[in-house]
Structure formats: structure tokens, C-alpha cells
Chains A and B, each alone.
Chain A
Amino acid sequence: MSLYLLRRLGQSLILLVLVSLIGFALIHLAPGGPLAQFTLTPGMSSADLARIAHQMGLDRPLPVQYWEWFRRLLIGDWGLSYRDNQPVLAVIGSHVPATLELMISSTLIAVLIGTWVGVLGALRRYSIFDYLATIGAMIALSLPTFWFGLVVIYAFSVKLGWLPAGGMYTVGDGSLLDYAHHLIGPAMVLALVTVAIWSRYMRSSMLEVTSQDFVRTATAKGLPRRVVIIRHALRNALLPMITLMGLQLPTLLGGALVTETIFTWPGMGRLFLDSIGYRDYPVVMGLLMFTALLVLIGNLTADMLYALYDPRIRLD
């Protein structure tokens, strides 16, 4: 297992470097480059700009600049926000919990529902349920998330009044219940895509596992059907799903952005959009790198969990 993990760690490090290179390239692609905030200030002469450029070290060779940037990335100095001069990492950090809560709660819902639908679809292959589930999943994957959000708001908030139309709390009420009430809408909307993908992969994983010999052995032992399905089949079918979770992270983050926008949920996604609006490049780049890092770490974690969970890798 340690060999496997070392290899994965090595791969992740390489990806980290490549990701940082892409990030660095993007900074310099931005109109005005790293000097953007200054080029917009009136009354700046080219001499002033040149002086600032020198101060910022922009006249040094690119590789040196990159190394400087990368070093500062690692120690947490991600620059200052144009808007309020706060450290970028701190700004991002204050918005992370909201997004994480949204992502985790929606994933929990999605996994529970998706597993149930997928397993049932596999056990009742080609039935009406299976057919509907497959088509439903395909349509769910074709829905624009923001549109679905609007529809949900219209149905549950405007028409039925069951859910609030957005935000994290009702003014004056900061209780857990209020928070949960506000979380339901965005969590459900974000969960849609995950449910669709999860159920389809769960179904095919279950189908593969149930056609394997050890499931036959388990049944031949006279074990109750429920035990065979859960203890034998599902336990094995869930293995590849761990890796899937990691691969789904980028999609989940993108969906979170859109969902936060619709439901005015104060997370990273909203921050990103606001920052783009203000052309607050340090925050924009910071968030871009942050999400990429999240994906990287997420995938690494998923692979580690897989290695831990599968005895064939854990003990070899």
C-alpha cells in the first residue's frame, strides 16, 4: 500500500506544479497582467507604472517570477484583494465553510438517494423503475442547474411558501433550524446532478458485482437476500464509487457556484462571481487556485480511502 500511496503522492505533486504553471500563465494573460489594478487608475504615468512594475518584480525573468509566486503560494501569501485590501487567503477562508456545508450536505443526500436508486435499478434490471430511473438521470444531467434552481424557488418558495427564496438566515433568526431551512433548497438543487451520475454508476457497479461468483456463493450459503445484497454485493460495488466521488469534485464545485448564485448563498461561488464583477483579480486567481487545489487534494484523499478500504491494496 505504501508504494501505491507514494506513487499517488508523486503524481499529485507533479499535478500541483502543472496547476500552478497554468495559474501563473492565466495571471499574465489577464488584460493588464499583474498590473491590472494600476492601469485602471487615472493619472498614472508610464514612468509610475514602470516603477511599480519594478517594485513588484515584474521586470525579472519569468521563471524567477514564477518561482517567487509559487513560493508565496505555498506559504499562504496570496496577495491582497483589490476591493478591501484584505489578504486573499483570509477572504477565501471566510467563505469556505458555507460552500463546504452546502457541498457536504448535498452529497450526503445525493449518495443516499443515488445508491438506493442505482441498487434497485440493478436488481430490477429492465423493469419500468429501471427504465424511468435511467431516463430521469439523463434528463437530470441535461437540466441547467441554475434553471432547476429557479424552478425550485418558484415552486417551493413563491407558490408553496415552504422554503425561503434564498440566503443563509432569516434576519433576526440565527438558529440551527433556520439555517437548515435555508440549506434545503440549494442542497437539493446541487444534489440533482450528483444523484443522476451516482445512480447510473452505482447501477452498473452493482450489475458487475452481482454477476460475480462470490455473490452466488453467498446465496448458496443460505444467507438472507438482504444480507447478500448489502454485506456482499454492495460492499464491493461501493469500492469504485469512492474514486468516482473524487472525480466528481470539479463538477460539484461548478454546480456550487451556480447554486450559490441563485440562492444567494454566501459561499466561495458567490465570492468568485462578485470578484469577477469587480475585476478583483487577486481574489479571482486565488479562488481559481484554491478550487484546483481542493480537487487535487480531494482526488488524493479518495485514492487513499480506496487503498484503505480495499484489502487487496491495503495488504500488499
Chain B
Amino acid sequence: MSAVLEVSGLSVRFRTDDGVVPAVNDVSFTMGQGETLALVGESGSGKSVTSLAIMRLTSGEVGGRVVLHDTDGATRDLLTLPESEMREIRGSRIAMIFQEPATSLNPVMTLGEQIAEPMRYHRSMGRRTALREAERLLDLVGIPDARRRLASYPHQLSGGMRQRAMIAIALACEPAVLIADEPTTALDVTVQAQILELLRELQERTGMALLFITHNLGVVAEIADTVVVMYAGRIVEKAPLRPLFERPLMPYTAGLMRSVPRLTGLRETLTAIPGNVPDPALLPDGCSFAPRCDHLEAGRCDARVPELDAASDEHLVRCVRWRELAAP
């Protein structure tokens, strides 16, 4: 599998009156063709900012490298491109869908126009051709009666249909990478399953890489090939799906899994992770998770920020005590 997106040492900092806030720190991962990478974390972990930084949609200062290996063979470092070139890539080579389909669509433009837009600007399509394509895309994403739907407005559709329309917009120019920022969080569970199914199908069909951002481990289990867990702006664990779920090495990841309610099996009490996600402006010295960690060892955990260790070829973890904690 050839690499499509290589993110190395990505960092995002915001300048505020209270100083510099490091929202994202030293994030690196690689995505291959057809791969689904899930970016997991609670709110405030920096996962959304990471995705926005890749698209260069954030007003913070972005450092590091984001290399896109496009389907046509071209290789570009997105962070060094001039804005005009980046604009050409946005929406056509890398596309993004967002969490709230209700508010993410322009209320006064028809569906057809909104789907046609990226095609008209990126591929210089004429209006009629673009609308025909739009109809095909609506069909592709499973919206019935596509031709008539072209003329409808967002408020006339249900949440699930709107999200499908968003996906159609994203797919319009056949992107190499699709970033989905919590696309199912605002939807009903049944619709959620449909959307996930749709994304899987489309991915198989087009071979695009999917960067899926979520805080829901259930969804991760459904859709991910690789999982990256983020906390307070840093990657704290990274592994392929099964190894992560079978043997989470970072206490935070383990804690996350324990706090997922189960409908079957033994009725255990929900164990939430005590405390709150730290304010990115006031990160503690040493491991950011230490203050909430059951296995905190003063002197070791709170001294310096742990490095990202390689527990195995593909399993990375940022914890000084992982070996001891993992020992059976």
C-alpha cells in the first residue's frame, strides 16, 4: 500500500493575550491508499485542530510537514504551498466533511448548486455538466429521486440525507483523502450505521484514504484500520485496530475503553476517568495525563513529557510505565 498522506511533526499554536497555546504538538502518522485512520480523543484533545491544520483552515501557526502523494503521482508539502495552490487542493484532492449537517450547508442554495460548485471551480465544468454529475453523485450516496433533489434546499432534507449530500460534495472531485470530522455524532444511531456503511462502500470503490475523527470507540471499532489516540494535543497511542482494542498500552486508552457502556455481557459499573481534560494553555510538566492517571508515579511521570515508544512495529505508546503496566 503506497502512502497517500504523510504527516510529520505537525504542531499548531495559537497566540492569545495569555501567551502561546499549543493545541497540537508533534503529531505524526501516515495513511495509505484505501486506509481508514481513526483519530480518537475527547473534546480538547486537538483532533479537530489537527484535521483543520492539514487542510490549512486554521488561523493558528502550523509547523511540521504534511505531504500529499496524489493519485496523479505529484508529491506536495501542503504546509509550504502558496494559498492559491492550496485552494486548488482543498475540496478537490483533499476533502472534508463536518459534524453538523444541519448548519454545514448553505440554506439559500439548492443542493445541486452546492454539489456542483467544487466541480465548476476545480474542474472548470460548465453548469449543466456539473449538475448532471451532481445528480450522479446524489445517486451514489444513496439519496433517492436524485434528479428532483437537485432543486431542493437543505432545510427540506433530514439529517442523514444532509450528511449524505455533504459526502456527495466532498466526493465531487474524486479526492485522494477524505477527512471526516465526527460526521455521525449529530445523527441517530441507525442513520449513523448507514452513513458508516456508505463511507466504507465509497472507500472501497474509490480507494481514497479516510481520516475519521471521533470520540466514539464503537464507531472506531466499526470502521478503522489504524487508530491514533490523542490527548492534550499529543499522540499518546497508535496501533492497528485489533492490537489497540486487545491490548491498550496507554492507561488513557484503557480508561477510554472502560468507560464505554456495554449492552451485553456482565453489567459492570461505568468507570469514568476522573478529572477533566487539561486546558491547553496550562499543560502540566511531564505527561499531560499524569494528574488523572491511576498509575501515576511521582518523579517519573511528571518530570518530562514521555517519548513515543515503539512497543512493536506498528504499536506506539507515549508512557514511561507501559512495560510494567502491560506485564501480565
Contacts and interface: CB of A to CB of B under 8 A. Distances in A.
Interface of A: 212-214, 216-224, 227, 231-232, 235-236, 239, 309-312, 315-316
A221 B169 contact: yes
24 contacts: A214-B107, A217-B104, A217-B105, A217-B166, A220-B90, A220-B95, A220-B96, A220-B98, A221-B90, A221-B118, A222-B88, A222-B89, A222-B90, A222-B91, A222-B92, A222-B118, A223-B117, A223-B121, A224-B87, A227-B121, A232-B106, A235-B108, A236-B108, A311-B155
Interface in B89-126: 89-92, 95-96, 98, 100, 103-109, 117-118, 121-122
Contacts of B88: 222
Nearest to B152: A315
B53 interface: no
Contacts of B108: 235-236, 239, 309-311
A214 B121 contact: no
A221 B155 contact: no
A212 B60 CA distance: 19
A11 to B, nearest CB: 24
B107 A236 contact: yes
A231 B113 CA distance: 11
B153 interface: yes
Contacts of A224: 87, 121
Given A220-B90, A222-B89, A222-B122, A315 B156 contact: yes
B153 A312 contact: yes
Contacts of B104: 213-214, 216-217
- Could you say which of B92, B95, B109 has the most chain A C-beta atoms within 10 Å of its C-beta? B109
B137 interface: no
B57 interface: yes
Q: Rank and list the top 6 A-B pairs by shortest CB-CB distance, nearest first.
A: A222-B91, A222-B90, A221-B91, A213-B103, A311-B153, A213-B104
A223 B105 CA distance: 14
SS class, residues of chain A in contact with chain B = helix
Nearest to B89: A222
B311 to A, nearest CB: 36
Nearest to A316: B155
Interface string B64-95: 00000000000000000000000111111001
A212 B98 CA distance: 12
A209 to B, nearest CB: 10
A217 B96 CA distance: 8
A239 B104 CA distance: 18
B290 interface: no
A10 B44 CA distance: 51
Given A310-B108, A311-B108, 8 more contacts: A216-B98, A222-B87, A222-B92, A232-B106, A235-B108, A236-B106, A310-B107, A315-B156
B57 to A, nearest CB: 6
B177 to A, nearest CB: 13
Contacts of A312: 107, 153, 155
A312 B88 CA distance: 32
A212 B103 contact: yes
Nearest to B55: A220
A82 B57 CA distance: 70
Contact of A213 (B87, B89, B100, B169): B100
Nearest to A212: B103
B174 to A, nearest CB: 14
- A212, A222, A236 — which one has the most chain B CB atoms within 10 A of its CB? A222
